[in-house]
Amino acid sequence: MSLRIVVTVKYVPDATGDRHFADDLTVDRDDVDGLLSELDEYAVEQALQIAEEADDAEVTVLTVGPEDAKDALRKALSMGADKAIHVEDDDLHGTDAIGTSLVLAKAVEKAGYDLVISGMASTDGVMGVVPALLAERLGVPQVTLLSEVSVEDGTVKGRRDGDAASEQLEASLPAVVSVTDQSGEARYPSFKGIMAAKKKPVESWDLSDLDLDAEEVGLEGAYTVVDAADERPARTAGTIVKDEGEGGKQLAEFLAGQKFI
């Protein structure tokens, strides 16, 4: 029996570019360069490794996002995923984490899955809650924030490095997994991979395909409201000195003046 892996990937504004808010206080996704969230590359990588270990496996990448989010899917396909699903609908604009998890859950169920793999957090929202929400909605075990993961005989095992301890976790499939950036470098797409990706199937689903109503998602369906978003005032320029042999002492003088010593 084939192991069906669905990887959830997000298309995000480039963190090294200028990120801002649109007039309706949602993240501006139109006027900025976007890309596959780097933290989701780790999820694609682990999915591919698990698939390579399994006798028979299929890796589907799934994104919920605007038209341009296809770029994120292409990148994942060129890394080696088999097929892609793009959930796209104008009514999705402004969907929050609760809503995103609803759409993802419906899509994952429609696609069919044994294992869902997510990134540890999206690089724009950085909430790190969608995988837990997805597990709650699907009613399957949550095996999240793994820095090491393996699947064998219908069981997923992994290591979660927490604040107080490092834990070994285990759950039966189906399950939702998320992996951290400690799980292993993500591969670069090869030229062959990039060419092959062009021929791989990308399905497009809208809300009606998922039996969802517009009111359940988008800004209207959101459970949270942003009332204000203000650019943080630039930090006032500090004092910069060149070390001419006394730099450490000068710094100590500054710290003493600020009462840190």
Ligand X SMILES: Nc1ncnc2c1ncn2[C@@H]1O[C@H](COP(=O)(O)O)[C@@H](O)[C@H]1O
Ligand Y SMILES: Cc1cc2nc3c(=O)[nH]c(=O)nc-3n(C[C@H](O)[C@H](O)[C@H](O)COP(=O)(O)OP(=O)(O)OC[C@H]3O[C@@H](n4cnc5c(N)ncnc54)[C@H](O)[C@@H]3O)c2cc1C
| Binding positions for ligand Y, rule: CB under 6 A | 38-39, 123, 181
Which single residue is written with the structure tokens 């044994």? Answer: 114
Centroid of chain to Cα 43: 8
In the complex, least distance from residue 142 CB atom to ligand Y, rounded to whole angstroms: 22
In the complex, least distance from residue 97 CB atom to ligand Y, rounded to whole angstroms: 19
Is 170 one of the binding residues for other proteins (CB under 8 A)? yes
Q: Single out the residue of 97, 175, 207, 210 in contact with ligand X (rule: CB under 6 A).
A: 97
**Signed CA dihedral, 9, 62, 82, 35: sign only:** negative
Q: Please name every residue paired with 159 in a beta bridge, in sequence order, or none if there are none.
A: 148, 168
Is 30 one of the binding residues for other proteins (CB under 8 A)? no
Looking at the Cβ atoms of 111 and 250, the one nearer to ligand X is 111
Considering only residues 25 to 84 of the shown chain, the ones binding ligand X according to CB under 6 A are 37, 39-40, 43, 63-65
Looking at the Cβ atoms of 12 and 84, the one nearer to other proteins is 12
Residues that bind ligand X (rule: CB under 6 A) add up to a total of 24
Q: Single out the residue of 15, 127, 251, 252 in contact with ligand X (rule: CB under 6 A).
A: 127
Looking at the Cβ atoms of 75 and 251, the one nearer to ligand X is 75
As to burial, measured by CB atoms within 10 angstroms (0-12 exposed, 13-18 middle, 19+ buried), residue 248 is exposed
Which single residue is written with the structure tokens 């909605």? Answer: 137
In the complex, least distance from residue 226 CB atom to other proteins, rounded to whole angstroms: 5
| CA dist list (Å): 231 to 18, 20, 105, 153, 180 | 12, 9, 34, 51, 29
- Check if the beta carbon of residue 165 is closer than 8 Å to that of residue 176: no
* 110 interface partner picked from ligand Y, ligand X, other proteins, none, CB below 5 to 8 A per type: none
Which single residue is written with the structure tokens 């459970």? Answer: 223
